[in-house]
Structure 1
């Protein structure tokens, strides 16, 4: 264990497989850090890799698996890592990443082979235990299906209606910490929680005890949440992005210095675009949280008292996070084959758009006829609007989207115009269509592609075989569940309206305008839940924000986007923020949703665009 006289400096180099490939190499070469972490997984990658893993095992058993099948880990990871390896060695920088997906051991072996190829002395370990397919199937078949209740739907697994293909659970950071404690330089993980690599690195550096050091662990959990999505905390997806427009091409990657007591200082890569400000940091905090408690397998963070202080340019201090014992359960995602999905696009233009959309939908439904019962999802969506007195055809044209899902492959078998199916039913109405309609010309979209359903529930941590596996010694270290886990956390978190709301007329004269003129916002997804957090820049605006943004007000602002589901609310006064959780808002979530806003990231900006009465004295300070 290193000296704990100073904090550990951890850089976040990836928020997903789509992130920039320069990250690990540039950070290792140019930054003064002790550890680099990265997140390459998502529900999408977990589902696709997991399903393919099961299919490959079936083909292998039948002797039909091709010899050149690629490993089911993130395919872009090695290109990111390879140029960084010499700097990791020369500067003694540790690396902990969750790029292993469904083939963590193989990726660790590939990394080790590249280390040897470059002639470097770096020890590689990997973390096992996230694949719980057999465990979930066993418990389900033993009659425990009623115990697996959907976190978003609140319905038991037995009512899901799909066969389990695979299941992965979210591991904590203790396996990463143990691997580092044993001397690992590189730790490859599969599905650990997004912040777990940061927690593990900080736990190793500071020598924290999972049973006793709850406040520091909780602080590191939130620091991990802040940096695990890389450039989000440095200005990506930030409501104040216009102030960063002058140089936005190369937003930096974040660095968190986590101190012995768990407080953290957030900075970023030098000589890069973006910024670290209270605004960008609170924006990222509000992303994907579910309530006042942020659960991890190592600790639970209570965040209602969190505070952020701008120490200097690009440096924010984060304090006030409190630690509680971890829950006895961990989140598990279960994948099933959902069927086939396809879509067809028609562009309509000009006046009377809603009437034109209704005309088109009625004609297509008539063509489908009795086959409509074969679709598990059939959605007609009018996306966009025509400008008043439009200045171009493009500004007057909107997308009418027909989205369909079915287990009957024949309904989407081909895109040929002479085969009955979704494509034909949309095409054949063209000559009786509404005025100003144009068929989308990419017919490939109307051919069915497989999609997967994803069920999120909880699994007892005691059922998970969490291990650190050390390649240099061919040894395995079991990671036990800590003794102080809690079994009494409620499924629904504490939700409340503000205490002592201030009369809105006390803020003086108002102007009708978009909420986003004075309020920042951040939204995201957790499976089919959507969350959205609002914040203001000045202390005297806080009383207005907490008073005006009630649950009923959010429902009013949602208008036709209100799904009628439960909405929960809580406050973070230390950062002048109000947070809402919209349960089961996203139609099953990323893997199978019919929503265009499939990650919940558009929800916040939609709500910022809604008009309300804004106090003039706040508007006079300038808009976001």
Structure 2
């Protein structure tokens, strides 16, 4: 069993991330393992469409192009590569990697993990008829491939953190019952899985980092130095941009989670036990993480196409904008009589001022979106009908684009749970041997933890109305139909205010769009954070919901911009 730290870097947080990151990470300093996370719920739909066009596709093709210029260097340095770029076709991508290695004349040992793809069994499992249905596998298939000497491991849909947990388990010889160590690696994996979000990217206090001398022009990608007990240090290569601070790590920790129990196929990590410590410049230690047996079921995400869509955006300027929008809607619905799409929405955005100094400032956008299962109802004829109104409608009418064709509509998401023993988990080793990976033998159903004792209430006295973001950081994102907003405080005084004042009711007051929906608040005292899960805000899914921010990435910044009453003694 090895006792030295394992240095795991990440070079991709999504399909479309910085192309040069793989080379930057390999050239920038010492690594043992380089991971690449290419998958998200929306990505699985994109890959599903690719597979419908060509059954040989269904994987992240960017990875191959990156590897073409990096494979030789990785093998020379002894860096092993673990990636979920296999998407819906890990076997196909693994074969392409072998062919690439042969073309380059390098002896790469390639393995892959499969079994997550349930689309052929969707009906028998009660999952409907999606174009993609994938269970979230764990880390043991990856670990088995690495133990058998793989240089490159390609997976399909595993949990994002498994890309880190698998190498750590193989390196340190952990077993399935070592829940605390596994949970520590899950937390490290969660921190680095989104790439530069851990090193200053998307950080709410980015201006503070800049004032402290950190260059955010091109943040470096993160590294987790994992220790034998599962604790870790988050860092980055020397001389790269960005910063690793308790704040940047906290921001990523509260991103797209739910409650204090963070479930996975191998372990449930207790996020309420996480402790962070700044050990030095760009070094944050994560310790104290406790783990529990995983739940008995595996998360399954099913993606489907809801039909076809088209849209037109019309600019309305000056006075009576609401009345102008109403006229456009009346005229367009009349013109489409008998062939109106099943779903036709009109959304007025912006806050134009008729007395603005510029014409752009005086305008607002009317976004018209049409959806139907029949592409003819939302094709070029639809958008042409909208443009035909130009000389017969409200004054100043103009569109932002010419008529366009229908496009396949985006994502409908159904999240389910399937018993783990119904999902195959197979490690296909470098020599072609197929090794079945058993599901967790000990499981524990998820249950809510009792609410922790709150700190003393904030001081009484005069208050001042200030933006919430003056004192508090926040980050938000999507989880299927739901939105997640994590909010944290930098010190104990602010934490006292946060936990007592930012209740579910106050959250709904500040963000009226959420007030009609079920909202759950979870408290994480060690991180001085609260996490809000807003159910249904993103329904029916990130690809098709009508919000201008369909993945809720800006929801946290809207919250931070809202004004609240803060005790004057706390205001900077």
Contact 2:310 2:379 in 1 (8 A): no
Please say if 1:401 is aligned against 2:387.
no
**Which of 164, 173, 180 pairs up with 2:146?**
180
Query: Cα gap change, 1:118/1:429 in structure 2, threshold over 3 Å: closer, same or farther?
Result: closer
Match of 1:226 in 2: 191
User: What CA deviation, in whole Å up to 9, does each residue of 1:254-302 have, x standing for no partner?
Assistant: 0001111111110012211110011111001111112111111111111
User: Which stretches of structure 1, 4 residues or longer, exceed 6 Å deviation after superposition?
Assistant: none
- Unaligned runs of 5+ residues in structure 1 are 58-69, 141-147, 149-156, 158-162
Please say if 1:584 is aligned against 2:541.
no
**Which of 311, 314, 339 pairs up with 2:282?**
314
1:330-409 to 2 correspondence within 5 Å?
330-369=298-337, 371-372=339-340, 374-375=341-342, 377-386=343-352, 390-409=356-375
Query: Cα gap change, 1:557/1:502 in structure 2, threshold over 3 Å: closer, same or farther?
Result: farther
Query: Cα gap change, 1:440/1:574 in structure 2, threshold over 3 Å: closer, same or farther?
Result: same
Match of 2:159 in 1: 193
Contact 1:215 1:323 in 2 (8 A): yes
Match of 1:67 in 2: none
Match of 2:180 in 1: 215
**Which of 595, 609, 624 pairs up with 2:547?**
595
1:36-51 to 2 correspondence within 5 Å?
36-51=34-49
1:79-158 to 2 correspondence within 5 Å?
79-140=65-126
Please say if 1:429 is aligned against 2:389.
yes
Write the distance in 2 (CA, Å) between the matches of 1:535 and 1:520: 5
Match of 1:455 in 2: 414
Instruction: For residue 139 of structure 1, give the secondary structure of its aligned residue in structure 2.
Output: coil
Instruction: For residue 76 of structure 1, give the secondary structure of its aligned residue in structure 2.
Output: helix
Q: CA deviation at 1:386?
A: 2.4
Contact 1:171 1:191 in 2 (8 A): yes
Match of 1:515 in 2: 468
Instruction: For residue 345 of structure 1, give the secondary structure of its aligned residue in structure 2.
Output: strand
Please say if 1:531 is aligned against 2:484.
yes
Contact 2:138 2:266 in 1 (8 A): yes
Query: Cα gap change, 1:358/1:244 in structure 2, threshold over 3 Å: closer, same or farther?
Result: farther
Match of 1:60 in 2: none
Query: Cα gap change, 1:563/1:585 in structure 2, threshold over 3 Å: closer, same or farther?
Result: farther
Q: CA deviation at 1:136?
A: 2.4
Please say if 1:77 is aligned against 2:63.
yes
User: What CA deviation, in whole Å up to 9, does each residue of 1:518-539 have, x standing for no partner?
Assistant: 1110000011110001112122
Match of 1:617 in 2: 569
Contact 2:319 2:354 in 1 (8 A): no
Contact 1:137 1:164 in 2 (8 A): no
Cα RMSD over matched residues?
A: 2.2
Write the distance in 2 (CA, Å) between the matches of 1:570 and 1:197: 27
Moved more, 238-247 or 10-19: 238-247
Instruction: For residue 511 of structure 2, give the secondary structure of its aligned residue in structure 1.
Output: helix
Contact 2:509 2:515 in 1 (8 A): no
Match of 2:402 in 1: 442
Match of 2:446 in 1: 489
Write the distance in 1 (CA, Å) between the matches of 2:196 and 2:6: 20
Instruction: For residue 486 of structure 2, give the secondary structure of its aligned residue in structure 1.
Output: strand
Query: Cα gap change, 1:362/1:494 in structure 2, threshold over 3 Å: closer, same or farther?
Result: farther
Q: CA deviation at 1:220?
A: 0.5
Instruction: For residue 430 of structure 1, give the secondary structure of its aligned residue in structure 2.
Output: coil
Query: Cα gap change, 1:175/1:382 in structure 2, threshold over 3 Å: closer, same or farther?
Result: same
Q: CA deviation at 1:452?
A: 4.3
Instruction: For residue 391 of structure 2, give the secondary structure of its aligned residue in structure 1.
Output: helix
Q: CA deviation at 1:499?
A: 5.0
Contact 1:563 1:585 in 2 (8 A): no
Q: CA deviation at 1:335?
A: 2.7
Write the distance in 1 (CA, Å) between the matches of 2:4 and 2:348: 56
Match of 1:145 in 2: none
Match of 2:506 in 1: 553
Match of 1:565 in 2: 517
- Unaligned runs of 5+ residues in structure 2 are none
Instruction: For residue 88 of structure 1, give the secondary structure of its aligned residue in structure 2.
Output: helix
Instruction: For residue 431 of structure 1, give the secondary structure of its aligned residue in structure 2.
Output: coil
Write the distance in 1 (CA, Å) between the matches of 2:169 and 2:410: 39
Contact 2:196 2:222 in 1 (8 A): yes
Match of 1:153 in 2: none
Query: Cα gap change, 1:352/1:266 in structure 2, threshold over 3 Å: closer, same or farther?
Result: farther
Write the distance in 1 (CA, Å) between the matches of 2:170 and 2:556: 37
Please say if 1:476 is aligned against 2:438.
no
Match of 1:144 in 2: none
**Which of 260, 269, 277 pairs up with 1:292?**
260
Contact 2:375 2:406 in 1 (8 A): no
Count of aligned pairs between the two proteins? 569
Write the distance in 2 (CA, Å) between the matches of 1:300 and 1:7: 23
Query: Cα gap change, 1:206/1:387 in structure 2, threshold over 3 Å: closer, same or farther?
Result: farther
Write the distance in 1 (CA, Å) between the matches of 2:41 and 2:155: 15
Contact 1:173 1:192 in 2 (8 A): yes
Instruction: For residue 417 of structure 2, give the secondary structure of its aligned residue in structure 1.
Output: strand
User: What CA deviation, in whole Å up to 9, does each residue of 1:466-507 have, x standing for no partner?
Assistant: 111123x22111101121023x325xx5586x8557656x34
Write the distance in 2 (CA, Å) between the matches of 1:541 and 1:392: 41
Query: Cα gap change, 1:428/1:503 in structure 2, threshold over 3 Å: closer, same or farther?
Result: farther
TM-score by structure 2 length? Answer: 0.94
Q: CA deviation at 1:350?
A: 3.4
Query: Cα gap change, 1:608/1:360 in structure 2, threshold over 3 Å: closer, same or farther?
Result: farther
Please say if 1:268 is aligned against 2:240.
no
Q: CA deviation at 1:512?
A: 1.5
Contact 1:531 1:580 in 2 (8 A): yes
Write the distance in 1 (CA, Å) between the matches of 2:187 and 2:242: 21
